[in-house]
Amino acid sequence: MPYINIKMAGPEPTDEQKEQVIAEVTEIMERVLGKKKERVMVMIETLTPQSIGVGGASVKKLASESK
């Protein structure tokens, strides 16, 4: 069973956006890798920008510096 875990910085996507991501990622797994869509599991986790760091700084700090 393919298990896909998508982690991203907030803001939280809408329910409609999550449905679209799940459907499209599942379709890619089916089309490209020949997986049965009934067996593909997709999880979406939204993390706070202060919980993710790039280059030694949080995404929250980097976003505020780029404004």
Q: How far apart are CA 50 and CA 67, in angstroms?
A: 17
Tokens of 13: 């996507």
Catalytic site residues?
Answer: 2
